[in-house]
């Protein structure tokens, strides 16, 4: 007889997001976060395996991405066509992707097809065939995309910026691989990565929808119970952003220059991480209300869009941004961007800017939770990034508590002397 899944409901106010999350443990010891919701007869699941593209072997970028592309290309008794037909017959959505730090899977199904959906998910997770024909086809699709990007300024700028920011580190390698090495990736590469990464100790799961804890616990054991207990992940070093204060141009005969800029960020659990989020919104994260938008687009008409954001990866933190402008206006655009960064570092935001940023960040948070798939994605990512369920409630409280002194301190730390690593693709004048 199987032991019922254990559940623990967070003890916070009923109106809170965290209160809806059950932290369950299956009879076989698989943990997950569950939000039961019967308003719509759907079940959405997302899982994350810590590792991702940072585990690509040296000199072989793109293995994690290739593995993710193969997991639904045939599994168990089904070849690729048969597997996709089985999904389509019952309108089951199943997909996989690789990020820098995670390999993720997501499933959505009508509640009446839940059993079949979990059966097909189990096959993809535990019995993906990794057939040679599918491998070569997926590689061809990736190669076609990489070839299209060769003359795409935005893709070229992003690749150049990453390479310069993290030279010799997995974070600097192309996520989807490159044309020089992609052809040499074989079945053994993806099979070895699956064997090393697919394990229970680095698995984070979130489920939302019309399913109870006991039923889910049985399905979790079916899908993930046979995985090894421990992953065999290669150590990934923490790394600081390199090249601050330098500019690099990638020549491309196009009328516009595409620019990426950045510097070292503030780590995920640093005391200034939340104030930095607010300050970045003031600078370039707030779109229409942001300083960069007003100064670069509205006042001077230098670019259609300009932005900044914070990336808090597992082994690095980055402040970065970008814009595209006419070649002859690239130098002036960077002057304006750098001036705004220095101004914010030296003087901090105004009271009005701080208030607007906090209100927007608090008010817009709900948009991340307006569908079952979004909720599952958010819950899986929070677990993978090391947050507890209480962060669902604490996040907005922490933003509301950011005072002017906190914002000024974070701005000084984040922007420093305003020096940036800059990568430009095009033929910028004066750079």
> What is the reported pTM?
0.93
Assess whether pLDDT exceeds 90 at residue 316.
Answer: yes
Q: What percent of the chain has pLDDT over 90?
A: 94
Rounded Cα gap, residues 318 and 240, in angstroms: 8
Assess whether pLDDT exceeds 60 at residue 132.
Answer: yes
Give me the helix-helix angle, 273-280 and 351-364, nearest 10°. 100
Summarised one tens digit per residue, pLDDT across range 67-114 is: 999 999 999 999 999 999 999 999 999 999 999 999 999 999 999 999
Q: Which residues contact 235 (CB under 8 A, 6 or more apart)?
A: none
For residue 307, what pLDDT is reported?
Answer: 96
Assess whether pLDDT exceeds 60 at residue 200.
Answer: yes
Assess whether pLDDT exceeds 50 at residue 187.
Answer: yes
CATH architecture assignment, domain 6-224: 2-Layer Sandwich (3.30)
The mean predicted confidence, pLDDT, of the chain is 95
Assess whether pLDDT exceeds 70 at residue 7.
Answer: no
Q: Is 250 helix (H, G, I), strand (E, B) or coil?
A: strand
Vertex 33: Cα angle to 29 and 36 (nearest 5): 120
Nearest Cα residue to 320 out of 211, 158, 119: 158
Assess whether pLDDT exceeds 60 at residue 6.
Answer: no
How far is C-alpha 53 from the geometric centre of its chain's CA atoms? 12
Assess whether pLDDT exceeds 60 at residue 368.
Answer: yes
Bridge partners of residue 295, in order along the sequence: none
Assess whether pLDDT exceeds 70 at residue 173.
Answer: yes
Q: How sure is the predictor about 398, in pLDDT bands with cuts at 50, 70 and 90? A: very high
Assess whether pLDDT exceeds 60 at residue 8.
Answer: no
For residue 431, what pLDDT is reported?
Answer: 87
Rounded Cα gap, residues 336 and 109, in angstroms: 49
- Same topology for domains 6-224 and 247-368+377-426, yes or no? yes
Rounded Cα gap, residues 265 and 240, in angstroms: 9
The pairing of strands 317-326 and 306-312 is antiparallel
Question: Which residue do the tokens 């995985």 mark?
Answer: 227
Rounded Cα gap, residues 305 and 335, in angstroms: 16
Question: Which residue do the tokens 């959405």 mark?
Answer: 44
Helix (H) or strand (E) holding 422: strand 421-426
Q: 247-368+377-426 belongs to which CATH class?
A: alpha beta
Q: How many helices (H) and strands (E) does the chain have?
A: 15, 12
Assess whether pLDDT exceeds 50 at residue 184.
Answer: yes
Rounded to an integer, the average pLDDT of 255-280 is 98
Sign of CA pseudo-dihedral 222, 223, 227, 229:
negative
Summarised one tens digit per residue, pLDDT across range 209-229 is: 999 999 999 999 999 999 999
Q: Is 221 helix (H, G, I), strand (E, B) or coil?
A: helix
For residue 190, what pLDDT is reported?
Answer: 98
CA dist 332 → 178, 247, 314, 328, 350 (Å): 33, 14, 35, 8, 25
Domain-by-domain residue ranges, the chain? 6-224, 247-368+377-426
Rounded Cα gap, residues 224 and 105, in angstroms: 12
């Amino acid at each position: 007889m199987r032991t019922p899944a254990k559940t623990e409901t967070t003890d916070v106010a009923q109106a809170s997001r965290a209160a809806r999350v059950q932290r369950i443990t299956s009879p076989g010891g698989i943990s997950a976060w569950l939000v039961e919701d019967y308003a719509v007869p759907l079940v959405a699941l997302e899982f994350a395996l810590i590792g991702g593209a940072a585990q690509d072997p040296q000199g072989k970028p793109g293995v994690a991405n290739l593995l993710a592309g193969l997991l639904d290309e045939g599994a168990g008794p089904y070849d690729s066509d048969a597997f996709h037909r089985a999904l389509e017959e019952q309108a089951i959505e199943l997909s996989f992707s690789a990020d820098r730090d995670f390999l993720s899977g997501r499933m959505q199904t009508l509640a009446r097809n839940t059993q079949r959906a979990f059966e097909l998910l189990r096959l993809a997770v535990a019995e993906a065939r990794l057939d040679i024909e599918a491998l070569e086809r997926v590689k061809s699709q990736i190669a076609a995309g990489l070839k299209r990007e060769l003359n795409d300024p935005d893709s070229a700028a992003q690749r150049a910026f990453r390479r310069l920011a993290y030279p010799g580190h997995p974070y600097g390698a192309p996520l989807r691989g490159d044309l020089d090495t992609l052809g040499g990736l074989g079945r053994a590469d993806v099979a070895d990565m699956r064997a090393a990464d697919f394990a229970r100790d680095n698995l984070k799961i979130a489920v939302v929808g019309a399913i109870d804890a006991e039923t889910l616990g049985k399905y979790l054991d079916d899908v993930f119970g046979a995985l090894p207990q421990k992953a065999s992940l290669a150590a990934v070093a923490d790394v600081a952003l390199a090249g601050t204060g330098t500019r690099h141009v990638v020549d491309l005969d196009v009328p516009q220059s595409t620019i990426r800029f950045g510097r070292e960020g503030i780590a995920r659990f640093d005391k200034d991480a939340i104030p930095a989020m607010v300050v970045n919104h003031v600078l370039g994260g707030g779109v229409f209300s942001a300083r960069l938008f007003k100064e670069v687009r509205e006042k001077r008409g230098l670019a259609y869009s300009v932005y900044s954001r914070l990336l808090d990866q597992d082994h690095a933190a980055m402040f970065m941004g970008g814009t595209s402008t006419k070649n002859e206006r690239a130098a002036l655009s960077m002057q304006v961007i750098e001036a705004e960064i220095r101004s914010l570092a030296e003087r901090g935001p105004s009271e009005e800017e701080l208030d607007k940023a906090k209100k927007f960040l608090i008010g817009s948070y709900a948009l991340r939770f307006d569908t079952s798939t979004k909720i599952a994605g958010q819950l899986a990512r929070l677990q993978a990034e090391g947050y507890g369920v209480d962060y669902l409630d604490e996040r907005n409280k922490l933003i509301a508590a950011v005072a002017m002194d906190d914002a000024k301190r974070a701005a000084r730390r984040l922007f420093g002397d305003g020096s940036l690593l800059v990568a430009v693709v095009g033929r910028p004048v004066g750079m």
